[in-house]
Amino acid sequence: MKPVASVSLDLDNLWAYLRTHGDPRWESRPSFLPSAVPRLLDVFGEQRLTTTVFVVGADAERDDGAEAVAAIVAAGHEIANHSFWHQPWLHRFSDEEVEKEVMRAEEAIMAAGAPRPVGFRGPGYSVTPALLDVLRRRGYRYDASVLPTWIGPLARAYHNRSAGSTDGGEDLFGGFGKVRAPNTAYRWRDNGLVELPVTTMPLLRVPIHGAYLLQLHQISPRLARGYFRTALRLCLARKVSPSLLLHPTDVLSGAEAPGMEFFPGMAVPGARKVELLGWVLSLLRKHFDVVGTGEHVERIAGSPLRERDPVACG
């Protein structure tokens, strides 16, 4: 049998990227969901994949977001919680504000026709003991907010060099210490939730998800494919069950996401992105039994998992 792997999609919308970047155009709530969602569902269907989609509550409340949720559920994918306002500094919120973010998103997701979510991912990979406590009390089975890499400060500098005024830019994406987090699933001690990290390349601990592959693709398509092949070889050699993260920008051209010229890989044409994504998923399926994050957690939940103190997540 092939080892398990998972694929998830953070359904971040155009307005959320602009807001984080300090661009006042976010206030009109521009959306690229009508372009991105059908394209992504087509790729998943061609690859015969069932994935998990982390939905932003504020989008689930609007017509195009509710339509996206309905289409995703109809295609058999899991819907999980990605907070209500997608503010990537939940670590600055009070306990009450964190709980409100989780609850409002839950309500919006269920009102759009999806089952009550049991998985959560914090925007900007933001996770705190207070958040984990809220998730436990509300009956969640897993969190998927940790990106175990050392490049957070570098990614922050890259982002902030072109950003306008932003409330949380000085600590966006966390510090170098995130590299100490495990690269495989574990449980939070005295909490019981399973943490399914967004997998980074074993040993090197550099990200392997879409934006980074596309940035390499701008330099050389051959380099991007070699990078991903190397990551999967290391996962197999180190017995890491990868959890691969995708975003709508992985299938959109720059013209379809106005204002996002700052984002990695936006110079790659949309058709090339779709081609690369199809290749990535096909290669992943060749070596692994690929499911959504919820199913991934179900399959490993009965196995002995290491524990980690929630204090270490801050």
Alpha helices in the chain (DSSP H): 14-20, 33-46, 57-60, 63-74, 95-111, 129-137, 152-160, 210-219, 221-238, 270-287, 293-300
Q: Mean of the pLDDT values across residues 148-161?
A: 90
Model confidence at 172, pLDDT cuts 50, 70, 90, reads confident
Reported as a single tens digit per residue, the pLDDT across 79-111 is 999 999 999 988 889 999 999 999 999 999 999
Could you say which DSSP state residue 55 is in? E
Reported as a single tens digit per residue, the pLDDT across 247-305 is 999 999 999 999 999 999 999 999 999 999 999 999 999 999 999 999 999 999 888 99
Question: Structural domains in the chain?
Answer: 4-303 (3.20.20.370)
Reported as a single tens digit per residue, the pLDDT across 194-243 is 999 999 999 999 999 999 999 999 999 999 999 999 999 999 999 999 99
Model confidence at 151, pLDDT cuts 50, 70, 90, reads very high
pLDDT score for 124: 93
Determine how many CB atoms are found less than 10 A away from the CB of residue 93. 18
pLDDT score for 313: 74
- Is a pLDDT exceeding 80 seen at residue 128? yes
pLDDT score for 234: 98
Instruction: Look at 50-54, 93-97, 155-159, 201-205 and tell me which has the smallest mean pLDDT.
Output: 155-159
pLDDT score for 112: 98
Mean pLDDT of the chain: 95
DSSP output for 72-135 = HHHTT-EEEE--SS--S-GGGS-HHHHHHHHHHHHHHHHHTTPPPP-EE--GGG---HHHHHHH
pLDDT score for 146: 96
Query: What is the C-alpha to C-alpha distance for residues 105 and 11, in angstroms, rounded to an integer?
Result: 13
Reported as a single tens digit per residue, the pLDDT across 179-208 is 999 999 999 999 999 999 999 999 999 999
Model confidence at 165, pLDDT cuts 50, 70, 90, reads low
CB 203 within 8 A of CB 236: no
Whole-structure pTM value: 0.97
Query: What is the C-alpha to C-alpha distance for residues 100 and 84, in angstroms, rounded to an integer?
Result: 8
Model confidence at 167, pLDDT cuts 50, 70, 90, reads low
